[in-house]
């Protein structure tokens, strides 16, 4: 088998001025991708900005013989997203890969959550992925090729205290990914999501004890595969950290059917409704609708 390479394909990597995004950028560039290193360069909570973050990663890529340009637009507005895609078109004439990685944290327990904590997090993680991916998707449809990788989180997939804003945004990215997989199917556009676990400035307070095991570089091989032409997977969610990769999937139990359903029959059959024996994993809404049709026929 040959090694995975990108043969001049153009990759936009958001939030690539540090942490995971920087590692993704270095790896893809080392294998021939032309990279737009996007980063606003602010603090973990999204305040401030610094063009130096993206510039430094571009310098690293150039020093290693790769090709990259810096972009410091924010993903969090439609204008910013369009400008990031325009940076790719101006520098390289096309866009083949979008890696939605930019992120911020504004943790607060739900009863204390305020609109500014909610809006900023939804704007960067969830709307930001829409704003960057949509103009790129238009190009991808026209050229009949695209790879989209969005960065979700176990906080949304499984739940974590103090992160309703972040968890909802991260689970929203799974919905975006699933629908893009459906809409992109006939244009050879694959959309997948990852849920990483790595020591970065975002997690240093909680993961410091595992510093040597959770290098951010462990996440990039998964991203590199999902961003490659060889990737056939679409609509998938993979969890990765410290060299371990696993799939996270949404399944549906065989279910219980009663045409005279009342609240008591729900109560009395709760274990049949929820038993995981014989579950299925629908690829899209059509597969799920078939489960109803089968049960009702
Ligand atoms: P990080 O803070 O090092 O990286 C995030 C980058 O996004 C920063 O460089 C920041 O400047 C940039 N950014 C923030 N707002 C931006 C905006 N509006 N426009 C452009 N760039 C912006 O943290 P890390 O850990 O590398 O995070 C990368 C992604 O991985 C994030 O989406 C995060 O939520 C996600 N993630 C990380 C986990 C971990 O264990 N480190 C766990 C689960 C998810």
Query: Are 107 and 233 found together in one domain?
Result: yes
Same domain? For 167 and 59 the reply is yes
Residues 237 and 144 in one domain: yes
Q: Tell me, yes or no, whether 214 and 94 share the same domain.
A: yes
Would you state the pLDDT for residue 72?
96
Q: Is 80 in the same domain as 203?
A: yes
Which letter, b or e, does each residue of 76-88 get, where b requires 16 or more Cβ atoms within 10 Å of its Cβ?
beeebbbbbbebb
Q: How many domains does the chain have?
A: 2
Quick one: 74 and 217 in the same domain?
yes
**What is the model's pLDDT at position 51?**
86
Report the SS3 class of residue 245: strand
Do residues 131 and 77 lie in contact, with contact meaning Cβ atoms separated by under 8 Å?
yes
Specify the CATH number for the domain of residue 54.
3.40.50.720
Pocket test for ligand 1, best of 102, 169, 210, 217 (most atoms within 8 A of CB): 102
Query: Both 29 and 113 in a single domain?
Result: yes
Predicted TM-score (pTM) above 0.75:
yes
User: In the structure, which protein residues have their CB atom closer than 6 angstroms to any atom of ligand 1?
Assistant: 14-15, 17-21, 38-42, 44, 46, 53, 74-76, 101-104, 124, 128, 151, 153, 196-198, 200-203
Residue 257 falls within a domain, yes or no?
no
66: Cβ contacts below 8 Å, ≥ 6 apart: 26, 29, 30, 35
Tell how far the Cα of 107 is from the centroid of ligand 1, in angstroms: 14
Active site residue 166: yes
Q: Does the residue 255 lie in any domain? A: no
The predicted structure's pLDDT at residue 199: 92
Per-residue confidence (pLDDT) for residue 205, from 0 to 100: 84
Task: Examine the domain organization and report whether 112 and 233 are in the same domain.
Answer: yes
- Measured distance CA(176)–CA(171) in Å, rounded: 9
Q: Does 53 map to a domain?
A: yes
Instruction: Give the integer Cα–Cα distance in Å for 9 and 294.
Output: 44
User: Above 90 in pLDDT, residue 191?
Assistant: yes
Question: Both 180 and 277 in a single domain?
Answer: no
19: left (phi over 0), alpha (psi -120 to 50) or beta: left
Q: Is residue 3 included in any domain, yes or no? A: no
Atom of ligand 1 at shortest range from CA of 76: 18
The CA radius of gyration of the chain, in Å to the nearest whole number, is: 20
Residue 253 is assigned to a structural domain of this protein: no
Residues 162 and 53 in one domain: yes
Residue at 5 is within a domain: no
Q: Which is catalytic among the residues 6, 131, 145, 166?
A: 166
Task: For 44-94, write each residue's pLDDT tens digit.
Answer: 999 999 989 999 999 999 999 999 999 999 999 999 999 999 999 999 999
Q: pLDDT of 227-252, one tens digit each?
A: 999 999 999 999 999 999 999 999 99
pLDDT band, residue 185 (cuts 50/70/90)? very high
Contacts of 22 (CB under 8 A, 6+ apart): 16, 57, 60, 216
Question: Does 235 share its domain with 286?
Answer: no
Q: Mention every residue, 6+ apart, whose C-beta is less than 8 A from residue 217.
A: 23, 27
Give the range of the structural domain holding residue 291, as residue numbers without chain letter. Answer: 263-296
Does the residue 237 lie in any domain? yes
For residue 177, being part of any structural domain is answered with yes
DSSP, collapsed to helix, strand or coil, labels residue 242 as: coil
Does the pLDDT at position 284 exceed 90? yes
> Does 221 lie in the same domain as 91?
yes
Q: How far apart are CA 47 and CA 55, in angstroms?
A: 19
- Token reading at 235: 């609509």
């Amino acid at each position: 088998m040959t090694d995975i390479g990108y043969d001049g394909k153009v990759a936009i990597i958001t939030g690539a001025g540090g942490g995971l995004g920087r590692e993704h950028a270095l790896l893809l560039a080392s294998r021939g991708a032309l990279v737009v290193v996007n980063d606003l360069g602010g603090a973990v909570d999204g305040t401030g900005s610094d063009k130096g973050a993206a510039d430094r990663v571009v310098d690293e890529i150039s020093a290693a013989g790769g090709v990259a340009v810096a972009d410091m637009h924010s993903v969090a507005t439609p204008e910013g997203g369009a400008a990031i895609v325009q940076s790719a078109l101006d520098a390289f004439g096309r866009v083949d890969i979008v890696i939605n990685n930019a992120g911020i944290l504004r943790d607060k327990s739900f009863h204390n959550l305020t609109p500014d904590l909610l809006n900023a997090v939804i704007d960067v993680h969830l709307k930001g992925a829409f704003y960057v991916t949509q103009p790129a998707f238009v190009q991808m449809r026209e050229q009949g090729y695209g790879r989209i990788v969005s960065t979700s989180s176990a906080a949304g997939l499984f739940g974590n205290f103090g992160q309703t804003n972040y968890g909802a945004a991260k689970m929203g990215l799974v919905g975006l990914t699933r629908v893009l997989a459906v809409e992109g199917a006939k244009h050879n556009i694959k959309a997948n999501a990852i849920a990483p676990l790595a020591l970065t400035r975002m997690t240093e307070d909680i993961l410091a004890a595992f510093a040597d095991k959770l290098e951010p570089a462990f996440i990039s091989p998964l991203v590199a595969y999902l961003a490659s032409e060889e990737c056939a997977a679409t609509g998938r969610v993979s969890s990765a950290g410290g060299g371990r990769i696993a799939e996270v999937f949404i399944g549906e139990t065989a279910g219980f059917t009663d045409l005279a359903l009342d609240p008591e029959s729900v109560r009395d059959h709760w274990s049949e409704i929820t038993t995981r024996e014989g579950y299925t994993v629908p690829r899209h809404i059509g597969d799920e609708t078939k489960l109803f049709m089968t049960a009702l026929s």
